[in-house]
Amino acid sequence: MATKGTRRAALGVTSAALGGVLAACGEGAPPGGAAPAPASGPVKLAYLSNLAETHPEGAARLSLLAEYQKEFASKVTIDVEGGKAATGLDKYKTVAAGGSAPDLGYVAYYEAADMFASGMVIDVDTELKGDKEWVKQRADLYPTMLESSSWTGKLVSIPMYTNDVAMIYNKGLLDQSGVAAPKEGWTWDDLTAAAAKTAKADRISVSMNWGFWLLLLRTSGSSPITPDAKRMTVDSPEMLQVIEFMQSLIKAGHAPADGKTETYREAKNDTVFEFQGPYRIPTLRQANAPAFGVIHAPVNPKKKVIATTNGGHNVVIFKETSAPRRAAAAQLARWLNAPHAQAQMCIKATSLPVSKAAFAAKELQDYLKTDVEMKGFVDLAPNGWRWPALPSWPKINKAVQDSVAAILKNETSPRDGLAKAQRDAQALLDEDVKLMK
């Protein structure tokens, strides 16, 4: 029978890592070797979530919190009632301004920089300073996950899990058309050729919304912003090539002219290729959709970079609470980032790991042996990229998206549209750059 210490190790919590929680509860020896303070009972934490419990990810989060609560009931009490409903960024700001901020909460990864710049949340590295387990976990994060969770050199949130984009393909429709399933390394040209061979009046060859310009750009080895996050680069030759490729799919009738993606909800068996994320898998299966496969997005014919783009959710620690609560909240957040919790989130909510250790976790890899479609998405985790943390990212992204949409609607030329995207997005980015100083 496993001992309590063994169970803690399996959950990614060692005795050393528990130091912060024990100290927060008044049960650890303070610096200098003085006598420990009297025990005052479990630290009480309040939790909020940007996804409700009715959402698969929201439910998986609550399940993990229940697991943590059971293991450390004598040290921490977690109030999850508020986390059963969805709390958006505006509401987070309202409760924080009103003096009733939670101790920790889930947010879209890109929202954390705005919250930190507003003085709502803390630099988690400062709170976890000296925690040996966190040092290991932090070093193991995929670089893009770490970079996109940082703002002005501060780690403003902890990445918990992510998603990505790959290509889902309909095996039956390919077979009917005599087209072989795509193989690793396939290109934009291969997609165009396959779409032409499978095209029919009542069929969608390529389900592609206009936001996937970013993924296609990444297969060129390019980014829409410089590594220092100070200059936009959406008017590049590589971006022009992406736009022209998307236009060619639309003009040929292979991709919808309105930029809307096939829902597959009625399982009509009318879509051959679909750019999508792992969250699509449950929808397809519940709808009894035709047999499908998953592979990386087609790559730029010359650069041939296998790539994917990510979203994802992070946990923030709120500033205006007590020191013991911040310490306990940071330990809980660290546990949620550990391999076991990440693996469970991936399994329960069809999401992706944000660290190499979680990717290699036995429980995740064992599960993937039973789900080859999910494995297609998870295997792309090391190839991911997401936007850097920027307070104005939603506005910057919208500025680019609006210009791309105008081009693909034939309201402006590719060069003029990309020039406008560059100007508008750079003006917004300049405001963020001022905050970096």
Q: What are the pLDDT digits (tens) for 80-129?
A: 999 999 999 999 999 999 999 999 999 999 999 999 999 999 999 999 99
| Closest to 219 (Cα-Cα) out of 192, 176, 187 | 187
Spatial distance between the Cα atoms of 300 and 217, rounded to a whole number of angstroms: 8
3 pLDDT tier (thresholds 50, 70, 90)? very low
Is 139 a residue whose pLDDT tops 50?
Answer: yes
| Closest to 112 (Cα-Cα) out of 137, 74, 71, 148 | 148
**pLDDT for 13:** 52
7 pLDDT tier (thresholds 50, 70, 90)? very low
Summarize pLDDT for 145-183 with one digit per residue, the tens: 999 999 999 999 999 999 999 999 999 999 999 999 999
Q: What residues contact 47, with CB distance under 8 A and at least 6 apart?
A: 65, 78, 79, 80, 82, 83, 102, 103, 104, 105
**pLDDT for 12:** 52
Is 28 a residue whose pLDDT tops 80?
Answer: no
Please report how the helices 237-251 and 393-408 are oriented relative to each other, as an axis angle in degrees rounded to 10: 50
Summarize pLDDT for 374-405 with one digit per residue, the tens: 999 999 999 999 999 999 999 999 999 999 99
Is 200 a residue whose pLDDT tops 60?
Answer: yes
Helix (H) or strand (E) holding 63: helix 56-71
Q: Count the helices and strands in the chain (H runs, E runs).
A: 20, 11
Is 42 a residue whose pLDDT tops 60?
Answer: yes
Give the tokens for residue 127: 């709170």
**pLDDT for 427:** 98
262 pLDDT tier (thresholds 50, 70, 90)? low
**Residue with token string 């650890």:** 28
**pLDDT for 267:** 55
268 pLDDT tier (thresholds 50, 70, 90)? low
Give the tokens for residue 302: 């010359």
Q: End-to-end distance of the chain based on CA atoms, in angstroms? A: 56
**pLDDT for 206:** 95
Average pLDDT of span 64-75: 97
Look at residue 258 and give its three-state secondary structure: coil
**pLDDT for 316:** 98
266 pLDDT tier (thresholds 50, 70, 90)? low
**pLDDT for 129:** 92
**Residue with token string 């024990």:** 22
Summarize pLDDT for 428-437 with one digit per residue, the tens: 999 999 999 7
Find out whether 334 and 134 touch, Cβ atoms under 8 Å.
yes
Summarize pLDDT for 269-316 with one digit per residue, the tens: 789 999 999 999 998 898 888 899 999 999 999 999 999 999 999 999
Find out whether 365 and 343 touch, Cβ atoms under 8 Å.
no
User: Burial level of 144, CB count in 10 A (0-12/13-18/19+)?
Assistant: buried
Summarize pLDDT for 317-376 with one digit per residue, the tens: 999 999 999 999 999 999 999 999 999 999 999 999 999 999 999 999 999 999 999 999
**pLDDT for 41:** 85
Instruction: Classify residue 69 by its DSSP letter.
Output: H
**pLDDT for 15:** 40
pTM: predicted TM-score of the whole model, two decimal places: 0.89
| Cα–chain center distance at 174 | 31
**Rounded mean pLDDT of the chain?**
91
Spatial distance between the Cα atoms of 188 and 242, rounded to a whole number of angstroms: 10
**Residue with token string 């130091």:** 19
Q: How many CA atoms lie within 13 A of 18 on its CB side?
A: 21
DSSP E strands in 109-261: the ranges are 150-151, 154-155, 158-161, 166-170, 204-207
- Going along the chain from its start, the domains and CATH numbers come out as 4-163+311-383 (3.40.190.10), 166-309+392-436 (3.40.190.10)
Backbone angles phi, psi at 324, to 5 degrees: -60, -35
